[in-house]
Amino acid sequence: MNAKRLRLRLTHSGVHIVLIILCAVCITPLFWMIRTALAPSADILSSHLWPNHLAFGNFVTAWHAQPFLLFLGNSLLTNATIVACQLGTSALAAYSLVFIPYQGKRLVFFTTLLAMMVPMQATFVPIYSMLSTFHLINTYGALILPFVGSAFGIFLMRQGFLSIPKEMVQAARVDGATEWQILVNIVLPHAKPTVATLVLLNFVYHYNSLFWPLIATNTNNMRVVPVALSYFLTQDAGQSLQWNLAMAFDVFAIAPVVILFLLGQRYFVQGVTGVSLKG
Amino acid sequence: MSRALPGVLKSQPRARQQTARKVQSSIHGWIMILPALVFLTLFVFIPMAYVVYLSMFQSNFLTPTMRFVGWENYYHLLTAPDFGQALTNTVGLAAGMVFLSLPLALALAILVNMRLSGTSVYRTVLFGPYVIPLVGSGLMFTLLFNTDGGLVNRIVEIFGGHPIDWLGGGQSALLSVLILSIWQYTGYYMLVFLAGLQNVPQHLKESCRVDGGGLWSTLRHVTLPALAPSLFFAIVVCLIQTFQTFDQVYVMTGGGPDGASTTLAYYIFEKGFQMYDIGTSSAASVVLFAMLALLTWLQVSFSNRWVGDES
């Protein structure tokens, strides 16, 4: 019995060691980012694991070198609008798909499924020329409009709504509630976790995405955070790049999502497992 | 409810009332789905159809003239070495993800699923990279892969190797993109597998152990079969995600050196947005779309999870 417990102990310690090593590997790039952001210019590429003295001034310099608040403002404004619009269109569509019986519903459902297969990388040329016809390129409209409807959002909401008992909706209808009232007062309050998941996942997704904002904007004052970050590399090509300032800026850029992730971890996990597991 | 009481509702006025309600409810249904459908049509379906149309022409943004060339753009892709390279790179990257990232994710999920103390911390740390913007991690990895003084080369030197020009090397550039992708996405697949592991029947695991099966045979005969749906889901999602690889390449290598790390998505971007060769770019877009459509179709028809429960 004792030998068995010893073996179990050993296995557990082994597992801990493996996991701790892998977690360390996971954290290393982040650690190196912070370490470099704090390094004085002479110390950036030195072999010290930690700078001899910390140059907190780098953060101040990086903050003033680029209008980070402007970029962050652009990002927050457009992403919040995108998420609000997606929540609206997706909740309405999912309610229609789950709770209202009508002809052609299956067709609509498969049509939205089709939309999930089309990546932005394949359609940016027509979307660009369409928006430029209406003089919307380099405006907030260009950043927002393509994402107002979201197939992924519809799926996520639909999955959340499916677990709400249909009898509850029926009963409300018998009591004379309109579909709109049922959605706002009954269905959405019962789908709070799904709403939270949709909001967090899509906010982070759009905050992080580079491809479309890179194409749709072309002046500094319209830049969002990822585009501004990518300009660090393309502007100062290669060796002249001041890595400590770039990493300080990188810290600013990823801080919002890291904070959101730590606060709403449960919903991120739910989003990932919900999509893969349940239907 | 109404279905349960058909006899009571037989009378004529009631029936008419019911038809009226049916019509009304289908109007409600369509009105509510309309906003999503309009925007998806405007920004997904019409653009996709237009890309197929554009792929039959030779055109650019600068001149308004479009010359119909039929399948010529596709023939051009078939013979163009740079497209072939982009396709090979993309498939190679996908293979790297499926054969390196997914097994690692599965191993991590099994370890985390043992529920030792501190499990939630491990899970958070391992999943963390997934939420970091790829531009941000791309910038970090560009620093790590720096030729002189980058952390990776420092470690290479400790083990007695020579410093490598990671991002500028013909073979190592794509490898660097793969390494970043593994760091970024493995935690996500770990969560997918962790969710799947909750479906492994506990009593089967126990009975396998009672029958004298070791850890390995339990894994092979109980855990893996029960994980099959998650494995399938993860492989397809991994392929879909990798086929769209753009940010990593844009930030770290710019597709270079000499196209050695150009992916399909980056090729489309380069042709369409930087060289204004809309015809070639559109044809390549259709190829990408066809590949993704096939994968999504596979996933939907095999998993049945999304389509099921549609009563």
DSSP string, B164-182: --TTTSTTHHHHHHHHHHH
Indicate the average pLDDT of chain B: 84
Summarised one tens digit per residue, pLDDT across range A54-66 is: 888 888 888 888 8
- Least confident interval from A22-36, A80-94, A102-116, B181-195: A102-116
How far is Cα B60 from Cα B57, in angstroms, rounded to an integer?
10
Query: Would you place residue A187 in the very low, low, confident or very high pLDDT band (cuts 50, 70, 90)?
Result: very high
- Domain extents in chain A: 2-60, 66-277
| A241, pLDDT greater than 80 | no
Mean pLDDT of A82-111: 91
Q: How far does CA A77 lie from the centroid of its chain?
A: 14
Query: How far apart, in Å, are the Cα atoms of B21 and each of A118, A229, B149, B159, B263?
Result: 37, 55, 73, 77, 54
Q: Summarize chain A as % helix, strand, coil (round to 5).
A: 80, 0, 20
Mean pLDDT of A110-138: 89
How far is Cα B98 from Cα B37, in angstroms, rounded to an integer?
34
Query: Would you place residue A242 in the very low, low, confident or very high pLDDT band (cuts 50, 70, 90)?
Result: confident
Beta carbons of B139 and A232 less than 8 Å apart: yes
Identify the residue with better confidence: A104 or A188: A188
| A44, pLDDT greater than 50 | yes
Global pTM reads 0.88
Residues with Cβ within 8 Å of residue A164, at least 6 apart in sequence: A98, A187, A190, A191
In the CATH scheme, what is the homologous superfamily, with its name and number, of domain B72-303? MetI-like (1.10.3720.10)
pLDDT value for A257 = 94
Per the CB < 8 A criterion, the answer to whether A265 and B181 are in contact is no
| A52, pLDDT greater than 50 | yes
Between residues 135 and 174 of chain A, which touch chain B (CB distance below 8 Å)? 145-151, 154-155, 162, 167, 170, 174
pLDDT value for B32 = 92
How far is Cα A116 from Cα A5, in angstroms, rounded to an integer?
51
Summarised one tens digit per residue, pLDDT across range B82-131 is: 999 999 999 999 999 999 999 999 999 999 988 788 888 999 999 999 99
Residue type at A260? L
Query: Would you place residue B9 in the very low, low, confident or very high pLDDT band (cuts 50, 70, 90)?
Result: very low
B82-99 burial: b if 16+ Cβ within 10 Å, else e: bbebbbebbbebbebbee
Query: Would you place residue A216 in the very low, low, confident or very high pLDDT band (cuts 50, 70, 90)?
Result: very high
Mean pLDDT of B174-187: 95
| B147, pLDDT greater than 70 | yes
Q: Six-digit token pair at B158? A: 């400790």
Q: Which of B139, B149, B296 sits opposite A229 (nearest CB)?
A: B139
Mean pLDDT of A15-20: 92
Identify the residue with better confidence: B309 or A245: A245
Query: Would you place residue B28 in the very low, low, confident or very high pLDDT band (cuts 50, 70, 90)?
Result: confident
Q: Which chain A residue has the Cα nearest residue B23?
A: A102
How far is Cα B207 from Cα B213, in angstroms, rounded to an integer?
9
- Spell out where A16-111 has E strands: none
Query: How far apart, in Å, are the Cα atoms of B202 and each of A132, B46, B112, B223, B309?
Result: 58, 49, 16, 10, 26
How far is Cα A89 from Cα A109, in angstroms, rounded to an integer?
14
| A135, pLDDT greater than 80 | yes
How far is Cα B258 from Cα A244, in angstroms, rounded to an integer?
29
Mean pLDDT of A203-216: 93
pLDDT value for B1 = 38
Nearest partner of B184 among B253, B127, B261, B119, judged by Cα: B127
Q: Six-digit token pair at B133? A: 């913007």
Which chain A residues are Cβ-neighbours of B250 within 8 angstroms?
210, 214, 230
| B310, pLDDT greater than 60 | no
pLDDT value for A235 = 57
pLDDT value for B3 = 45
Coil, strand or helix at A244: helix
Q: How large is the ipTM?
A: 0.89
| B309, pLDDT greater than 50 | no
Other C-beta atoms closer than 10 Å to the C-beta of B193 total 23
A123 at interface of B, judged by CB pairs closer than 8 A: yes
What percentage of chain A has pLDDT greater than the value 70?
A: 95
pLDDT value for B255 = 85
pLDDT value for B197 = 87
Which chain B residues are Cβ-neighbours of A129 within 8 angstroms?
61
Nearest partner of A9 among B203, B117, B104, judged by Cα: B117
| B164, pLDDT greater than 60 | yes
In the CATH scheme, what is the homologous superfamily, with its name and number, of domain A66-277? MetI-like (1.10.3720.10)
| A84, pLDDT greater than 90 | yes
Summarised one tens digit per residue, pLDDT across range B74-83 is: 998 889 899 9
Which chain B residues are Cβ-neighbours of A242 within 8 angstroms?
none
- When scoring A27, A90, A117, A154 by the number of chain B Cβ atoms within 10 A, the one with the most, hence best to mutate, is A117
End-to-end alpha-carbon separation of chain B, Å?
15
Indicate the average pLDDT of chain A: 87
Beta carbons of A96 and B32 less than 8 Å apart: yes
Residue type at B60? N
Per the CB < 8 A criterion, the answer to whether B25 and A100 are in contact is yes
Summarised one tens digit per residue, pLDDT across range B233-278 is: 888 889 989 999 999 999 998 887 888 999 999 999 998 888 888 8
Per the CB < 8 A criterion, the answer to whether A94 and B36 are in contact is no
- Domain extents in chain B: 2-54, 72-303
Q: Which of A100, A126, A230 sits opposite B51 (nearest CB)?
A: A126
| A279, pLDDT greater than 70 | no
How far is Cα A41 from Cα A53, in angstroms, rounded to an integer?
11
| B224, pLDDT greater than 50 | yes
How far is Cα B235 from Cα B183, in angstroms, rounded to an integer?
17
Beta carbons of B195 and A276 less than 8 Å apart: yes
Query: How far apart, in Å, are the Cα atoms of A214 and each of A28, A71, A121, B191?
Result: 29, 13, 12, 31
Query: Would you place residue A109 in the very low, low, confident or very high pLDDT band (cuts 50, 70, 90)?
Result: confident
How far is Cα B180 from Cα B174, in angstroms, rounded to an integer?
10
